[in-house]
Amino acid sequence: MTMKQFWILAGAVVLAAAPVTAQQKRVMTFDDFSAIRAVSDPQLSPDGTMVLYAVRTTDVAANKRTTRTFVIAVSGGTPRQFPDEKTIAVEARWSRDGARVAYTTGGQLWVADAKGGSAKQLTSLSGGASGPVWSATGDRIAFASGVYPDCRDDACSAMKAKAASESKVKAHVADALMYRHWNAFDDGTRSHLFVVSPDGSDLRDLIPSARYDVPPGPFGGSEGYAFSPDGREVAYTAKDAGRTEAWSTDVNVYVVPTSGGPSTVITGANTGNDQNPVYSPDGKWILYGSQKRAGVESDRFRLMAYDRAAHASRELLPTFDRWADSYLFTPDSRIIVLGTSDRGRDRYFRVTFDAAGKAGAPVLITDGMNNIGITMSLDGRTLAWQRDAIDHPPEIWTGQLGTKAIESAHAVTHETDAMVSQLMLHPAEDFWFRGANGDSVHGWVVKPPQYQPGKKFPVLLLVHGGPEVPWLDAWGSRWAPEMFAAGGFGLVMINPRGSPGYGQKFIDGISKDWGGKVYIDLMKGLDAALLKNSWLDSTRMAAAGGSYGGYMVNWMAGHTNRFKALVSHAGVFNLESMQGATEEQWFTDAEFGGPWWKDEAMVTQYRKFSPHLYAKNFKTPTLVIGGELDYRVPYTEGLSLFTALQRQNVPSRLIVFPDEGHWVLKPQNSQLWWKEVRAWLTDHADPKPKM
């Protein structure tokens, strides 16, 4: 069956089952999913009248995704591409006076006027340029660029890069761990922090010879550095751990003069992770997020304030049991807008901040849908941010900052409205149940587009990865809940212990207990969903998960036969082999109590919670998926799982992407991924509605 035939058949089945009143909408196909215009990165103009934002589009035939920048008036209207229709610009940022915009295109830094005219290229660096940040004074732009630390100038870095590219020898040589990270081997370059004048003059590397990255990889961006209000200093995030890099989480905040000179660490007393500095507009404070416990990447990020005069830090919200994910000041330095994950949604809180540096109790100002990426006008009144839900892709919203809520909130962009109006999408429905400890645990249920009252539908239990990452009421660009539901399945999505947004004790409940109470939470949550939703068919159930979710699917395979089919993507199978090959050793140290050669860790973790030890119990048909460039959970974990299944004659299928890492990102690979997953679930769990 061809891909086109597959989706046509799926649509035909849906239409045949759908009531007449619903036939004006259709079930989402992969073509629809790919056609969604992915909106992100809102940037409100200083005067609060315009918003720059990014739109990523997918061209499946060309096997590529392209992100462009658009600008639209807050009052509404037709967006236009920025700076012009021919330029593919990203990371667009307003100058403080709103007269200019810095952006990157072709991997280099540019500046144009607010209308997109008078465009000027500022850099031509061999390591490219990314993450522009304006100084408040408007005379400097900070950005990151890749360099060889031993080089004194860009010509040297360019020569080294050319020699490496042209060499016939591609061997990787390492003298220490972290020789590869996420999906790439260490090539000897480091991301350095640069500044440049808006006319392209006075280009300088602020951390020459540094053997660490600013921002830290693999996902750090411009949130990792900021200018002081007077423009004389930059605070930045870096990890200078030397040979302990693979097992240390000691990230710090540094300050460095923009005129050049040595950097000074301001968070050295804390051995956990300190990151993402934000100056108060009055220049007295630097906010940053801080994890107190060393070696624990899932510790609570506390909101800290560094007193620049006293050279001392204090925690602002010690009783607020949520993470400080993002934060920004109002222009008078008296209010902090704080972003955090809370009970399955990303939300914003309003926090008062007095002249003495004391914070008031957080007040929730957003609710309902998922909210991230907030930016503010120069007068502190208008906000713009990104908002989405499981049943609606992101759009840019705007509103006014009130004392108890964001007032007059409404959508500014409508990039996805036309597509969404054609699709049969059901919102996520919250439910709560008693978990492994008798505590309250949260989950979601999503109806399939084929849903009809009085009929039963098969169940797909989705298990999230991380493991310290929650299921949010958010549109998915990879593991999209609505795409799974489109196959005719009712979705059950549990946030078991380990999930952020429910308190740090709840998060810590997964560590050194991967196959214990989390598994009980999931099974209890599934039972609760079945009890609350009579339309879910307990005789036709499947489970799917990636990363830790893949681990849990593998664990389920050895501990229950209640599922008709399983999908394990990048799932941990053998804890010992995974620990020895994964790059971030602090993770396995914290989660399993240390490496496998430590006796207590071996007895209590590796030889207790490893799915491979229960392979003799495997009976459920399992689809195994991995990427050869996955250095977080090496794809050999999937090979071992598939071998165990095949040797025992358990129906199974293996898919390995040689050009993908932990995530499947290339459009045609994604197309194959969804086709194979849908077919596997269809063949083994029968998605047709039944009476």
Residue 16 pLDDT more than 60? no
pLDDT of residue 24: 85
pLDDT of residue 691: 83
Q: Regarding beta strands 382-389 and 392-401, do their DSSP bridges make them parallel or antiparallel, or are they unpaired?
A: antiparallel
Compute the distance between CA of residue 14 and CA of residue 32 in angstroms, rounded to an integer.
15
- Determine the 3-state secondary structure of 162 from DSSP: helix
pLDDT of residue 367: 82
pLDDT of residue 280: 98
Q: What does the mean pLDDT of the chain come to?
A: 95
Residue 335 pLDDT more than 80? yes
Residue 3 pLDDT more than 90? no
13 close to 688: Cβ distance less than 8 angstroms: yes
Residue 681 pLDDT more than 60? yes
Q: Which helix (H) or strand (E) holds 14?
A: helix 3-17
Structure-token pair, residue 161: 């890069």
| Confidence band for 361, pLDDT divided at 50, 70 and 90 | very high
pLDDT of residue 687: 86
pLDDT of residue 163: 97
Residue 302 pLDDT more than 50? yes
Question: Which H, E and C letters describe 609-663, residue by residue?
Answer: CCHHHHHHHCCCCEEEEEECCCCCCCCHHHHHHHHHHHHCCCCEEEEEECCCCCC
pLDDT tens for each residue of 619-637: 999 999 999 999 999 999 9
Compute the distance between CA of residue 28 and CA of residue 11 in angstroms, rounded to an integer.
8
pLDDT tens for each residue of 165-222: 999 999 999 999 999 999 999 999 999 999 999 999 999 999 999 999 999 999 999 9
Compute the distance between CA of residue 254 and CA of residue 258 in angstroms, rounded to an integer.
13
pLDDT of residue 653: 98
Residue 22 pLDDT more than 60? no
Q: Work out the average pLDDT over 644-670.
A: 98
Q: Report the predicted TM-score, pTM, of the whole model to 2 decimal places.
A: 0.95
Higher pLDDT, 9 or 600: 600
CATH architecture for segment(s) 3-30+424-574+610-685: 3-Layer(aba) Sandwich (3.40)
Compute the distance between CA of residue 131 and CA of residue 221 in angstroms, rounded to an integer.
6
pLDDT tens for each residue of 399-415: 999 999 999 999 999 99
| Confidence band for 8, pLDDT divided at 50, 70 and 90 | very low
pLDDT tens for each residue of 237-287: 999 999 999 999 999 999 999 999 999 999 999 999 999 999 999 999 999
286 close to 278: Cβ distance less than 8 angstroms: yes
The number of angstroms, rounded, from the C-alpha of 682 to the middle of its chain's C-alpha atoms is 29
Residue 5 pLDDT more than 60? no
Residue 11 pLDDT more than 50? no
Give 76's Cβ-side CA count (13 Å radius).
3
